Amino acid sequence: MTVEDVKIIHLPKFTNPKGNLSFVEQLNHIPFEIKRTYWIYDVPGGESRGGHAFKNNEEFIVALSGAFDVVVDDSQQQKRFVMNRSYYGLYIPSGLWREIENFSTNSVALEFGSIHYQEDDYVRDYEEFLRLKEDHLI
């Protein structure tokens, strides 16, 4: 997988003067079966999180509120996605390093995963990620 496989997906948006509505469906907007949903909140403004890669987990990230940048890295190239609309999703396949940076105050990151939480699916050391990538093990 490379950073070219990371995709912004435009979600449906029903606009209404009383408030807008968007939604996601598995195997439709989200290209995998959802096994897990979690959210990151109360992040101090300007903070960064999530420097890691997943060996198998695929992710879909929505900036439900506020804004942050998702930086993906395939060991050759980096790409930055500015997430600041709740009707965009970011699909990240497995095998890429990713960090979430520049959280705005009161932002909420909603994340869907393709597998249940498994600590041994994480690669948390960037040098190890580079070695695994070089050996085509991730």
Asked whether the beta carbons of 60 and 90 are under 8 A apart, the reply is yes
- Give the x/- contact pattern for ligand TYD in 74-113, rule: CB under 6 A: ----------------------------------------
Residue keyed to tokens 């990620």: 129
Q: Indicate the residue among 98 and 133 with the shorter CB distance to ligand TYD.
A: 98
Among 50, 66, 93, 95, binds ligand TYD (CB under 6 A): 50
- Give the x/- contact pattern for ligand TYD in 6-45, rule: CB under 6 A: ------------------------------x-x-------
Alpha-carbon separation of residue 102 from 6, 20, 52, 63, 134 (angstroms): 19, 25, 17, 12, 29
Q: How many residues bind ligand TYD (CB under 6 A)?
A: 6
Spatial distance between the Cα atoms of 104 and 37, rounded to a whole number of angstroms: 21
DSSP at 75: S
DSSP at 12: P
Q: Minimum CB separation from ligand TYD for residue 5, in Å?
A: 20
Is 116 a residue of the active site? no
Instruction: Give the footprint of ligand TYD on this chain (CB under 6 A).
Output: 36, 38, 49-50, 52, 117
- Active-site positions read 52
